[in-house]
Structure 1
Amino acid sequence: MTFDFTRRSVLLGAGAALGTFVLGRSQALAQATVPLKIGFISPVSGPLAGFGETDGYILDRAREALAGGVTMNGTGYSVELLDRDTQSDPSRAGQLARELINSDGVDIMIAVSTPETINPVSDACEAAGVPCISTVMPWEAWYFGRGAKPGEPSPFTYGFHFGFGVDEFYRAYISQWDLIETNRKVGVMYPNDADGNAVRAVLAPRLVEAGYEVIDPGAYETGTQDYSQQIRIFREAGIEIFNTFPIPPDFAAFWRQAAQQGLHRQIKIVQTAKTGLFPGDIEALGTLGNNIASAAYWHRDFPYTSPVTGLNGVALCDGYEAATGRQWTQQLGASLSAIDVAMAALAAAADPKDKDGVAAAIAGLTADSIAGVVDFTTGPVPNVAHGPIIGTQWQPSEKGPHQFDYVVTENATDPNVPVVGTLVPYNA
């Protein structure tokens, strides 16, 4: 699906700032524009590569849409997207951010997916005074994990994060788990990293308050090879729900060992996060991937449209599958939403080249995106905007063309998203 941006104008509302931009008004305008440079950092290779797998496609669509330039507050600008691969290395993420800032002179930075990418990029931008938009990690791990304190003023001026937090996980999980009768014993396996520590501190106590018995063998180190101790504890406790936040290789190793030792036979709900987000993760497990429950921060059925590209979820995913021959992933919409918000942020400032002005504008920004409305004015804390988590499940496809269908099973955190399937017990 293509759009003629020489005839089609796209406007973004930017809350109180009322920022707008117009795409590609004329070729002459594009040739006379001031350059805007946007850094885009994500993990395209390494153990977190699933998060960056679709970014090349998204960047191509955004570059096509922005090729004719934009007009903001009456001034024409060309737009350049400079993407970099962290190789799943936090040190490299910070280094790339500093290079984009110091050598390439980016006007705004986008950091996408996991604390290993987002936090070092956000820290580099904060130190250099460059506005940064990030998404796809729990906001608590971004905010408190970088030194902010509850009840105290935000220590951040240039970094802004949007998306889900532990409350969204809690609401989605409670809604999801109520769909199947269990003994309410939840085995949790949270890693010793920013995600795991934030979830352990906030989510586990809330599950206990909701009447679940939480069995936690303790934090494990990323890259652990032997999970016999955790499996033994879960088996002896008789858990029927399993919840984990590992990177994909760790979950694959754990779940294969769990199957070898018989744990999988007693589990009714396998609820994963951070892993199990993408079809490749599930397909690699073979039949052990059947009916693994997941959580979607974006889905092709989200009823929203990207202001930058004009694409809705169905068109975006269909285009990706036609172009690549691969199944769509939720990262398509997540990465595109970050570009939507970054463009709105630049437009919200009186001068998009003024980094202090852009950062100040983001604090009052409300912007449309393919992931829904992103509102930095309502918290939950300064510099953060809420985002949904939707309960989903990987169910064996009956009609094809893919091995699994990614089915929405609950929508407590965004009722606008349609529920299209029923949660099936893992061993059904």
Structure 2
Amino acid sequence: MDVSSTGPTRRDVLRATGLGISLAAASPLLAACGGLGSSPKTENTKKNLKIGFVSPRTGAAASFGEPDAYVLDLAKKAISGATGYDVQILDRDSQSNPQRSAQVANDLINGDQVDLMLTTSTPETVNPVSDACEAAGVPCVSTVVPWEAWYFGRGAKPTDQNAYKFTYHFCFGVEQFHNMYTHEWPQVTTNKKVGVMWPNDSDGNAIRAALGPLLTKSGYTIVDPGAYTDGTNDFSAQIARFKAENCEIFNTFPIPPDFATFWRQAAQQGYRPKICQVAKTGLFPSQVEALGPIGIDIAGGAYWAPTYPYKSSLTGISSKDLGDGYQQAGKQWNQQLGPSLALFDVAAAALKATGDPKDKAGLAKTIGSLDVETPIGRLQWGKGPNANVVATPILGGQWIKSTDSRYQVEFVLVENSSDPNVPVAAKLREYGA
């Protein structure tokens, strides 16, 4: 069962019963021993464990947190029974703010004394939480930050193969983006000139350093007006440059509000590329619906979809049933469902595989060699690109008008170079065609 902060503690139970074991804890011992033993040392050894979960529920990246409540409910129902421990999940809102992320992480570490931390969605949330855990010696698993932005963005050097002792990550990286773009973009005839808006943050700097050169080697011309500051509200200079250079492909990795501002200004100022390729935004229906008609035909990446042929090892739920269940609960499927539930698959597998999950160093070591099935596929640490990271697929897709009367838009997969097991549903079409 789940243990909440308002429930009785083990000390309360012992005080109330006056025994070294509760009846519930005694029952398996009775079955094994044929009755109450005479040893006065018999006691309940079942551990109470705490897992912290930090994600953006409000603020600029709030759309990533939309399915949190649904995923947390699934995890809370399954994790105690699956692990054999009384597991309490403490979820906190990072407010999409790095300072707030660090604060709630430290509160969970020092105040709540969590045994394991999970965190997801953008460097603004994930990196400060990971740093706090590394400093405190608390095992942490994270996702949904390009792995280079997580690994190098926190100070690791390119030569480091095991930069962190307590923090582990699974996510797509620059190689997966490169594969996606070079398989997706040729589906539309263009002049191969790419106007890019890569911000001055962990994501933008990692992408500029690694993706730009790869695309250049693949025959694309990169037109980069330079790094911009998150929260910029006038993109006229960038738009003018893209128009002057006739950039028929546009690519960006912004926080969601910045893209909305840019894309509306681009429409007003007459910039309409043949391909509009976005990342970090344009991931969820709510983001695209907010753009209105100019949101149709935007291309994006998919790190999970209900058509992924994988399931959760913790809950046994398939990707299809995960998406269907969320829609039956009242909202259109959201690709954050997959990796968020995968975090708890990893957590459960790590707790079960560790002799003493209260031993933080031992738990961290277990994660470093873990092999676990999740809705986004099989995660195997120790296979590269380094000891702390599992590189996962990202597939290409596009937003179209929904064929389902319940919804305004839908996301269809157009490219699967990173994972051919996932079916493609359509071909990329020119923006606004």
TM-score (norm 2): 0.89
CA distance, structure 1, for counterparts of residue 315 and residue 192 of structure 2? 44
- Correspondence 1:302 to 2:308: yes
Q: Which residue does 2:15 correspond to in 1? A: none
Secondary structure at 2:333's aligned position in 1?
coil
Is the contact made by 2:79 and 2:348 (CA closer than 8 Å) also made in structure 1?
Answer: no
Q: Which residue does 2:149 correspond to in 1? A: 141
Q: Matches of residues 13-412 of structure 1 in structure 2 within 5 Å?
A: 33-66=46-79, 69-71=81-83, 76-264=84-272, 267-323=273-329, 325-412=330-417
Deviation for aligned residue 1:242? 0.4
Secondary structure at 2:142's aligned position in 1?
strand
**Residues 62 and 360 of structure 1, relative CA distance in 2, 3 Å threshold:** same
Deviation for aligned residue 1:316? 1.1
When Rg is computed on C-alpha atoms for both structures, the one with the higher figure is: 2
Deviation for aligned residue 1:26? 10
The residue identity in structure 2 corresponding to 1:394 is W
Deviations 1:183-239 (A, max 9, x none): 101000001100000000000111011000110000010110000000000000001
CA distance, structure 1, for counterparts of residue 334 and residue 305 of structure 2? 8
Moved more, 105-114 or 358-367: 358-367
Deviations 1:85-116 (A, max 9, x none): 01111111111111111111111100111100
Secondary structure at 2:85's aligned position in 1?
strand
CA distance, structure 1, for counterparts of residue 405 and residue 147 of structure 2? 36
Q: Which residue does 2:31 correspond to in 1? A: none
CA distance, structure 1, for counterparts of residue 302 and residue 237 of structure 2? 30
The number of residue pairs the alignment matches comes to 395
CA distance, structure 2, for counterparts of residue 419 and residue 153 of structure 1? 35
Question: Can you give the 5+ residue segments of structure 2 that lack an aligned partner in the other structure?
Answer: 1-23, 29-43
CA distance, structure 2, for counterparts of residue 56 and residue 85 of structure 1? 12
The residue identity in structure 1 corresponding to 2:243 is R
The residue identity in structure 2 corresponding to 1:286 is G
Is the contact made by 2:313 and 2:372 (CA closer than 8 Å) also made in structure 1?
Answer: no
CA distance, structure 2, for counterparts of residue 220 and residue 269 of structure 1? 21
Q: Which residue does 2:9 correspond to in 1? A: none
The residue identity in structure 1 corresponding to 2:278 is T
Is the contact made by 1:188 and 1:244 (CA closer than 8 Å) also made in structure 2?
Answer: yes
Name segments (4+ residues, structure 1) moved above 4 Å. Answer: 25-29
CA distance, structure 2, for counterparts of residue 49 and residue 365 of structure 1? 30
Secondary structure at 1:152's aligned position in 2?
coil
CA distance, structure 2, for counterparts of residue 28 and residue 84 of structure 1? 36
Deviations 1:236-279 (A, max 9, x none): 00011000000111000000000000002xx1111000010011
**Residues 200 and 367 of structure 1, relative CA distance in 2, 3 Å threshold:** same
Is the contact made by 1:337 and 1:369 (CA closer than 8 Å) also made in structure 2?
Answer: yes
CA distance, structure 2, for counterparts of residue 225 and residue 409 of structure 1? 32
Is the contact made by 1:375 and 1:386 (CA closer than 8 Å) also made in structure 2?
Answer: no
Secondary structure at 1:352's aligned position in 2?
coil
Question: Can you give the 5+ residue segments of structure 1 that lack an aligned partner in the other structure?
Answer: 1-24
CA distance, structure 1, for counterparts of residue 392 and residue 123 of structure 2? 17
Is the contact made by 2:82 and 2:348 (CA closer than 8 Å) also made in structure 1?
Answer: no
CA distance, structure 1, for counterparts of residue 304 and residue 248 of structure 2? 27
Corresponding residue to 1:413 among 407, 418, 423: 418
Deviation for aligned residue 1:33? 3.0
Secondary structure at 2:386's aligned position in 1?
coil
Deviations 1:371-418 (A, max 9, x none): 101111111012001100000100111343211111010100011111
Is the contact made by 2:50 and 2:89 (CA closer than 8 Å) also made in structure 1?
Answer: yes
CA distance, structure 2, for counterparts of residue 213 and residue 273 of structure 1? 19
Deviation for aligned residue 1:154? 2.7
Deviations 1:262-298 (A, max 9, x none): 002xx11110000100111100111000110000111
Deviation for aligned residue 1:349? 1.7
Secondary structure at 1:173's aligned position in 2?
helix
The residue identity in structure 2 corresponding to 1:229 is A
**Identity across the alignment (%):** 55
Deviation for aligned residue 1:153? 4.5
Is the contact made by 1:70 and 1:78 (CA closer than 8 Å) also made in structure 2?
Answer: no
